[in-house]
C-alpha cells in the first residue's frame, strides 16, 4: 500500500488537524480546569481494567467483584467484557508508561498524560479506519471528491466523532477501524488475488470478534464484495488448502488471547462472562432503535438515513449486490435491536452502529458519485451535509455538557433542548430504566405515603398534600433491606408522584434521590434526577410522574434504602402522592 501517495492530499491533512484541534478543546479542556473524566468512563472502565490489572496491578488472577463489569465466576471474578478494545489501547498505554519513565515520574494509569495517550491512540485508529475506507472506495472507482465528502461526513457528522474524541475507551472506534480494514483487504483480495490481503483480512476478522463478537456478521460482506454467486465461487476455488489453513490460524490467533485471559481470571478456557444478559430475539425494538427519540439512529445520526439513498444506486448496478447488502444491513439492525438493553445504557445516539460506518461511508460516496454531474443537486446535497455535520457537532457538545440526557431522552425533551447551548438553561429529568434481561420480579414493598398539610386547604380538589415551601426535605421513604447480598440481580424500583407548582417552575431544581447505605453509613448506591421530566408551562396544575430504576446487588446485608425529594431552593410546590413499589429481581 502506498500510504503517503494516497493519503497526503491536503484536504485529509486539514481534516486530521481539525479533528485533533477539536479533541484538545472538546475533550482535554474543561471550564472548571479539571481534566476530562469521560476519556476512561462507563463501559470503558471495564475494557481498561484489562490493562490496569494485567500490567499495573498484576491482579488479573485475583480481581475484585464489581457490579458494573467484574462478575462472579465460581469462586473467582471475571471481566465481563471482551479484550479487543484493550488490545488496541495497549500500545498507547505502554507509550504513556515509557513517557513517565523518561520523565522519571511514577506512572499513573489514570493520569491526564495517560488519558491523552489513550485519546491520541483512538485518533490513530480513526485515521487508519478512514484510510481503509478511502482505499476501498478507490478500488470501487468512486470519484475523489465523493470519497472525501463521505469520509468528512462520517468523521464529523456521526457519533463516531464523539466515540473517538470524548470516549475513546469504548470499543467503537476500534471496531470501526477493524471492520473498515477487513472490508478493504477482502475487497483487495477479491480484485487482485493477493494472498497477503486475505491473511490481513482474517487477522482483522479475529480482532473484530474479540472486540465485539456480534460484529462478526460483517463476514457477510464477502458475497457483496465478490459481486455475484459465480464470482464468489470462483474466488473461493482459487484459494489453496494451505491458504485456508493459514487463514484459520490467523483468525484464531486473537481468540487465543481472549481464551488465555479467561483462563488467568477463572481457571476456565471459555466462559460466558455477561451473566444473565442476553438477546430478546423474539422482541427486537427496531422502531425505537431507528426512529425513537430515546436513542434513534436516524434521529441522532440523520446522515445514516441520507446514506441509505445510496442503496438505490446499488440496486441499479447489481441486484445481487443490493440484496446481499440489504440482508447484511437488516441483520445488523435486527441484532442491535434484539439486545436486552436496546438503548445501550448511557450513550449518544445508537452507538452500536458506529462499528459499521465504513458501509455508511460507501453508500454516501456512491450517492455523491452518481449525482456529480448534476451541479445544483450536488451543491444542495453538500450544503445539507454541512448542516448535518454542524448538528452532530453541536449535539455532541450538548451530550458532553449534559444538556441532553445520555440515556433517557423523549420527544418533548428533544424539542425543548434543541438548539440550547447553555448548561442548566433547560432542566430535564425523570428516569425510565427497563428491567434486566428476563428478570423475574417479586414484590417486596408497596407503600403510599400518607401526606397531610397543616391548613387542610383544598387545592385543585386535592386536600392531602405536603407543602415544600421553605423546606429542603420532607417526603421520604426509609426501608431496611435485610437480605440485599443474597439477591441474584438486585432490585427494581417503581415510583409515582403528583406535583403542583404554586409558582411557575418553582420545582425545576427539585431532585428525587435514591440511596442504598450499608451498616456503616457508606453509600452502596446513589442516584438522583430532577422530578420534572420537562419544565412546566403553567403553574397551579397537578402533574403525575412515574419513574423506574434498577438498583444493583449490594455487597452486604442490612442495607438501608432511602428515597426522598430534595428541594435545595426551598421553593414553593406541593406533593400530593408518593407511591413506591420495590421488587426483588431474580
Question: What does the pLDDT look like over 468-502, one tens digit per residue?
Answer: 989 999 999 999 988 776 667 889 999 999 999 99
Cell numbers representing residue 570 in the block = 426551598
| Mean pLDDT along residues 55-79 | 88
Cα gap 357→322, rounded to integer Å:
18
Is the backbone of residue 193 left (phi > 0), alpha (psi -120 to 50) or beta?
left
Cα gap 526→515, rounded to integer Å:
5
3-state secondary structure (DSSP) of residue 416: helix
Give, as one character, the DSSP assignment of residue 355. G
Query: 76 pLDDT band (50/70/90 cuts)?
Result: very high
Query: 450 pLDDT band (50/70/90 cuts)?
Result: confident
* pLDDT score of 308 more than 60: yes
Cα gap 264→55, rounded to integer Å:
13
pLDDT at 33: 52
Cell numbers representing residue 526 in the block = 446513589
Specify the range with the lowest mean pLDDT, choosing from 196-205, 424-433, 445-454: 445-454
Query: 7 pLDDT band (50/70/90 cuts)?
Result: very low
CA 243 from centre of chain: 37
Whether the Cβ atoms of residue 477 and residue 561 lie closer than 8 Å to each other:
yes
CATH 2.60.120.1310 positions along the chain are: 441-585
* pLDDT one-digit tens code per residue, 314-364: 999 999 999 999 999 999 999 999 999 999 999 999 999 999 999 999 999
Instruction: Compute, in degrees rounded to 10, the torsion defined by CA atoms 495, 499, 505, 509.
Output: -40
* pLDDT score of 11 more than 90: no
Instruction: Compute, in degrees rounded to 10, the torsion defined by CA atoms 532, 533, 535, 540.
Output: -50
* pLDDT score of 4 more than 50: no
CATH class of 441-585: mainly beta
* pLDDT score of 32 more than 60: no
Query: 133 pLDDT band (50/70/90 cuts)?
Result: very high
Q: With residue 561 as reference, give the H or E element that holds it.
A: strand 559-566
pLDDT at 259: 97
Distance between first and last Cα of the chain: 54
| Mean pLDDT along residues 163-186 | 96
Whether the Cβ atoms of residue 514 and residue 528 lie closer than 8 Å to each other:
yes
* pLDDT one-digit tens code per residue, 383-434: 999 999 999 999 999 999 999 999 899 999 999 999 999 998 999 999 999 9
Task: Let me know the angle formed at the C-alpha of 88 by 82 and 89, rounded to the nearest 5 degrees.
Answer: 100
* pLDDT score of 31 more than 80: no
| Mean pLDDT along residues 518-525 | 86
3-state secondary structure (DSSP) of residue 249: helix
Give, as one character, the DSSP assignment of residue 435. P
Beta strands in 49-202 (DSSP E): 70-73, 76-79
Specify the range with the lowest mean pLDDT, choosing from 148-152, 219-223, 240-244, 450-454: 450-454
Phi, psi of 478 (to 5 degrees): -130, 120
Query: 9 pLDDT band (50/70/90 cuts)?
Result: low
pLDDT at 16: 79
Provide, rounded to the nearest whole percent, the portion of the chain with pLDDT above 70. 94
* pLDDT score of 171 more than 50: yes
Specify the range with the lowest mean pLDDT, choosing from 92-101, 436-445, 475-484: 475-484
* pLDDT score of 10 more than 90: no
Mean pLDDT over each residue of the chain, to the nearest integer: 92
Query: 446 pLDDT band (50/70/90 cuts)?
Result: very high
Whether the Cβ atoms of residue 412 and residue 298 lie closer than 8 Å to each other:
no
pLDDT at 29: 67
3-state secondary structure (DSSP) of residue 240: coil
**Residue whose cell numbers read 431474580:** 586
pLDDT at 34: 62
Whether the Cβ atoms of residue 365 and residue 142 lie closer than 8 Å to each other:
yes
Whether the Cβ atoms of residue 514 and residue 525 lie closer than 8 Å to each other:
yes
Burial call 95-118: b when 16+ CB within 10 Å, e when fewer: ebbeebeeeeeebebeeeebbbbb
Cα gap 558→235, rounded to integer Å:
65
Whether the Cβ atoms of residue 309 and residue 366 lie closer than 8 Å to each other:
no
Cell numbers representing residue 26 in the block = 472538546
**Strongest mean pLDDT among 27-36, 58-67, 449-458, 504-513:** 504-513
DSSP string, 301-331: -HHHHHHTTHHHHHHHH-HHHHHHHHHHHHH
From residue 241, give the alpha-carbon distance in Å to each of 238, 250, 254. Answer: 10, 14, 22
Amino acid at each position: 500500500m502506498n500510504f503517503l501517495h494516497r493519503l497526503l492530499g491536503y484536504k485529509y491533512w486539514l481534516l486530521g488537524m481539525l479533528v485533533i484541534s477539536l479533541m484538545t478543546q472538546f475533550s482535554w479542556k474543561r471550564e472548571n480546569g479539571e481534566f476530562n473524566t469521560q476519556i476512561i468512563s462507563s463501559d470503558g472502565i471495564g475494557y481498561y481494567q484489562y490493562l490496569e490489572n494485567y500490567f499495573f496491578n498484576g491482579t488479573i488472577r485475583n480481581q475484585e467483584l464489581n457490579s458494573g463489569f467484574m462478575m462472579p465466576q465460581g469462586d473467582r471474578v471475571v471481566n465481563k467484557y471482551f479484550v479487543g478494545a484493550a488490545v488496541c489501547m495497549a500500545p498507547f498505554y505502554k507509550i504513556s508508561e515509557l513517557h513517565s519513565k523518561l520523565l522519571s515520574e511514577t506512572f499513573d494509569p489514570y493520569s491526564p498524560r495517560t488519558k491523552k495517550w489513550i485519546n491520541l491512540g483512538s485518533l490513530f485508529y480513526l485515521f487508519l479506519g478512514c484510510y481503509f475506507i478511502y482505499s476501498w472506495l478507490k478500488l470501487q472507482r468512486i470519484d475523489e471528491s465523493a470519497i472525501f465528502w463521505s469520509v468528512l461526513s462520517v468523521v464529523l457528522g456521526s457519533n463516531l466523532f464523539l466515540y473517538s474524541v470524548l470516549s475513546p475507551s469504548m470499543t467503537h472506534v476500534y471496531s470501526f477501524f477493524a471492520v473498515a480494514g477487513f472490508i478493504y483487504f477482502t475487497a483487495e483480495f477479491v480484485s487482485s488475488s493477493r494472498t497477503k490481503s486475505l491473511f490481513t483480512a482474517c487477522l482483522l476478522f479475529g480482532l473484530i470478534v474479540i472486540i465485539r463478537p456480534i460484529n462478526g456478521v460483517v463476514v457477510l460482506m464477502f458475497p457483496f464484495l465478490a459481486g455475484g454467486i459465480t464470482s464468489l465461487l470462483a474466488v473461493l476455488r482459487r484459494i489453496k488448502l494451505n491458504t485456508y489453513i493459514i487463514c484459520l490460524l490467523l483468525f484464531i490467533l486473537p481468540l487465543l488471547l481472549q481464551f488465555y485471559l479467561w483462563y488467568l481470571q477463572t481457571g476456565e478456557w471459555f466462559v460466558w462472562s455477561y451473566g444473565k444478559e442476553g438477546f430478546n430475539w423474539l422482541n427486537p425494538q427496531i422502531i425505537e432503535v431507528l426512529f425513537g427519540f430515546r436513542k434513534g439512529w436516524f434521529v441522532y445520526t440523520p446522515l445514516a438515513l441520507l446514506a441509505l439513498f445510496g442503496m438505490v444506486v446499488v440496486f441499479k448496478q447489481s441486484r445481487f449486490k443490493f440484496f446481499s447488502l440489504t440482508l447484511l444491513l437488516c441483520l445488523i439492525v435486527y441484532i442491535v435491536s434484539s439486545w436486552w438493553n436496546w438503548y445501550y445504557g448511557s450513550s449518544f445516539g445508537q452507538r452500536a452502529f458506529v462499528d459499521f460506518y465504513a458501509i455508511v461511508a460507501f453508500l454516501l460516496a456512491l450517492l455523491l458519485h452518481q449525482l456529480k454531474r448534476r451541479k445544483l443537486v450536488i451543491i444542495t446535497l453538500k450544503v445539507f451535509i454541512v448542516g448535518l455535520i454542524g448538528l452532530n457537532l453541536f449535539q455532541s457538545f450538548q451530550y458532553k455538557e449534559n444538556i441532553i440526557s445520555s440515556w433517557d431522552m423523549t420527544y418533548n425533551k428533544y424539542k425543548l433542548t434543541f438548539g440550547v447551548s447553555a448548561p442548566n438553561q433547560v432542566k430535564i429529568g425523570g428516569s425510565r430504566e427497563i428491567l434486566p434481561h428476563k428478570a423475574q420480579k417479586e414484590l417486596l414493598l408497596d407503600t403510599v405515603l400518607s401526606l397531610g398539610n397543616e391548613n387542610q386547604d383544598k387545592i385543585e380538589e386535592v386536600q392531602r398534600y405536603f407543602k415544600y415551601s421553605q423546606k429542603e426535605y420532607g417526603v421520604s421513604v426509609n426501608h431496611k433491606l435485610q437480605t440485599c447480598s443474597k439477591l441474584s440481580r438486585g432490585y427494581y424500583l417503581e415510583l409515582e408522584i403528583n406535583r403542583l407548582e404554586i409558582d411557575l417552575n418553582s420545582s425545576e431544581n427539585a431532585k428525587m434521590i435514591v440511596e442504598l447505605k450499608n451498616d456503616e453509613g457508606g453509600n452502596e448506591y446513589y442516584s438522583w434526577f430532577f422530578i420534572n421530566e420537562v419544565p412546566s408551562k403553567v403553574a397551579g396544575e397537578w402533574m403525575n410522574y412515574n419513574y423506574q430504576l434498577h438498583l444493583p446487588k449490594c455487597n452486604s446485608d442490612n442495607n438501608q434504602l432511602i428515597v426522598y425529594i430534595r428541594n435545595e431552593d426551598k421553593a414553593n410546590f406541593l406533593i400530593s402522592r408518593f407511591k413506591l413499589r420495590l421488587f426483588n429481581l431474580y
